[in-house]
Structure 1
Amino acid sequence: MVGTGCGGSDGVAGGKSRFDDIYDRPDPRAYFRRLAPLEYEIPHHAQPVFRQVATERAALDDGRPHTPAVLDVCCSYGINAALLNHDVTLAEMCERYTSSACQAVSRAELARQDKEFYAERRRPDAVPVFGLDVAAPAVHYAIEVGLLDAAFTDDLEQGSPSPRLSRALAEVGLITLTGGGSYITARTFTELLDGVSRPVWVSAFVLRTVSYHPFVRTLAAHGLRTTVDVSRTYPQRLFTDERERQYAIAAVRALGGDPAGREEAGRFHTLHYESRPDWERRDRCLAEGL
């Protein structure tokens, strides 16, 4: 799938093209070669949002010994982590990994160069980032080059967090998502939120072809209130073909949206959902003895 590695085989599912084969590669070169012609851009739009939210969430933990970690769900090769913690843009990453010079080197040499590349661009306000994705080659590369502080391949659609992930959840203060809402369900969020110990925020970019309501209900059950500005959308990528375009138009309409000027114009679009603790509801319940 585009933007995550949490999927099955390549092809078309429900009318939406899938790109799962690019997450089983030993490095991100195939990922960028495949997505560059489709003008994949959602991590670019998420970059300033996630930086701002991570800063605000960290401010809540002033005085605590460790900065709250960000858990990027369906993290693939650590793209969101790269953009969050380094002075680099998605366009620069795309140019880097599709360049002839990059294509010419071995995987080992690319990893060596990447480790140096990102270390030189590490921001002073970098925060710990954990990655969760069933695509083991992708997360292993992100760990090797220093983009992720920890990575997990637990399939929470099928089971509960491993002991290692459970221990890591104690440090998580923010969960991020760009695209994975198409392929995971609220069950993954339930498994994560059942295991956290700090107040957790969730910042998610979700395709308009997908209903986020089951996630919102799960988040509410864990004390989080979700907001979304439906008037503002963020483009994700071009459609692969007319079949995918027609699928997206129909899916958006089925959910009560208007595809005019967005999906009808040839691109997937996302909405940004922000979920934070509902302190007012909690205080009201405490005051009423509930």
Structure 2
Amino acid sequence: MAGVTPTSSGTDWGKAHFESIYNCPDPRRYFDTLHPLAYQIPHHGQAVFRALADALRRRRGDRPPLRVVDLCCSYGVNAALLNHRITLDDLYHHYVTTDPHALKGDALARADRAYYAARRLPGAARVTGIDAADRAVGYAVAAGLLDHGFAENLELEAASPTLHQALAGTDLITVTGGVGYITARTFARLFDCLAEPPWVAAFVLRTVSYRPISALLARAGLVTERVTTRTFRQRRFADEAERRAAYEALAARGLPIGGKEADGFYHAELYVSRPAADVAALPLAELLPAF
């Protein structure tokens, strides 16, 4: 859920609402709030997205930098982890503070621009972020995490002409938990802007069905595979009411909680969508051998 901003679709599985942390001038409140809940899905995303990016670079040869679109990008957390020598724990250490004199807002964004520039990986991907939270997107652009940032809600409106142009040549679309807040409608509007279908990597909470999106991606020419060897912890349940609601949602989907949500955490599944030729040339088990 790195960067989830609720849309008009809302949620229907009793998830706790953290709207107040997703559109602040900087990420400190976001990390302060989520740290006690052991929020960790961006950590899992880092390993997966880097593996996919490396495979795409090998496939593309000497073309210009990889072009990634991060949905529900919020403060640019996924971009930070993809393109820099940092970990999620580093980000918690960087942003979780009790210092009342700590930099805030624009001042923090300016300082963070230097912080990230010093840790930038060679051959970094060009990242376009999309999120309805305008201040969060603005911070991510100011801090140098996003090459392009768009505060647009594709659940409600088609992509702007500027976003349409920025999406050209997209190689990979990533999302770490926004599915459920965004639906197949967002993906349809994205794919309306793309001449060729990119790869898509989505972490999706088990309380939510990915079927409508995978069906849309199939119509766009992509084969969707799910990693079946494991699930990925997202964060702890915020309270007992949220836990009960999650269990009810999982029961409605016919999914057991043993060995998964019974541990007190939301669990996500990983879906990877690619053209059929890429699936045949590089099986998922070889693409993501560590998972």
| TM-score (structure 1 length as normaliser) | 0.90
- What SS class does the counterpart of residue 71 from structure 1 fall into? strand
Tell me, in whole angstroms, the C-alpha distance in 2 between the residues paired with 1:271 and 1:41: 14
Deviations 1:44-85 (A, max 9, x none): 011011001012123333244x23310000000000000000
User: 1:61, 1:67 within 8 Å by CA — same for their partners in 2?
Assistant: no
1:7–1:90 distance in 2 versus 1, CA, 3 Å:
same
Does 236-245 or 110-119 show the bigger shift? 110-119
Mapping of residues 226-265 of structure 1, within 5 Å: 226-265=224-263
Deviations 1:188-224 (A, max 9, x none): 1111112112440000100000000001100000000
Partner of 1:136: 134
Partner of 1:44: 43
1:231–1:88 distance in 2 versus 1, CA, 3 Å:
same
User: 1:39, 1:237 within 8 Å by CA — same for their partners in 2?
Assistant: yes
Tell me, in whole angstroms, the C-alpha distance in 2 between the residues paired with 1:132 and 1:273: 20
User: 2:7, 2:181 within 8 Å by CA — same for their partners in 1?
Assistant: no
- Which residue of the other structure, out of 71, 92, 98, is the alignment partner of 2:69? 71
Partner of 1:155: 153
1:177–1:102 distance in 2 versus 1, CA, 3 Å:
farther
Tell me, in whole angstroms, the C-alpha distance in 2 between the residues paired with 1:280 and 1:20: 38
| TM-score (structure 2 length as normaliser) | 0.90
Tell me, in whole angstroms, the C-alpha distance in 2 between the residues paired with 1:104 and 1:153: 27
Partner of 1:288: none
Mapping of residues 143-182 of structure 1, within 5 Å: 143-182=141-180
Tell me, in whole angstroms, the C-alpha distance in 1 between the residues paired with 2:188 and 2:244: 32
Residue 125 of structure 1: CA displacement? 2.8
Percent identical: 47
Tell me, in whole angstroms, the C-alpha distance in 2 between the residues paired with 1:42 and 1:260: 20
Using CA pairs under 8 Å that are at least 6 residues apart, name the structure with larger relative contact order, 1 or 2. 2
User: 1:102, 1:110 within 8 Å by CA — same for their partners in 2?
Assistant: no
Does 28-37 or 222-231 show the bigger shift? 222-231
Does 253-262 or 222-231 show the bigger shift? 253-262
Residue 280 of structure 1: CA displacement? 8.2
Residue 101 of structure 1: CA displacement? 4.4
1:107 equivalenced with 2:70 (yes/no):
no
- What SS class does the counterpart of residue 100 from structure 1 fall into? coil
Count matched residues. Answer: 279
Residue 102 of structure 1: CA displacement? 8.0
1:167–1:149 distance in 2 versus 1, CA, 3 Å:
same
1:54 equivalenced with 2:60 (yes/no):
no
User: 1:8, 1:20 within 8 Å by CA — same for their partners in 2?
Assistant: no
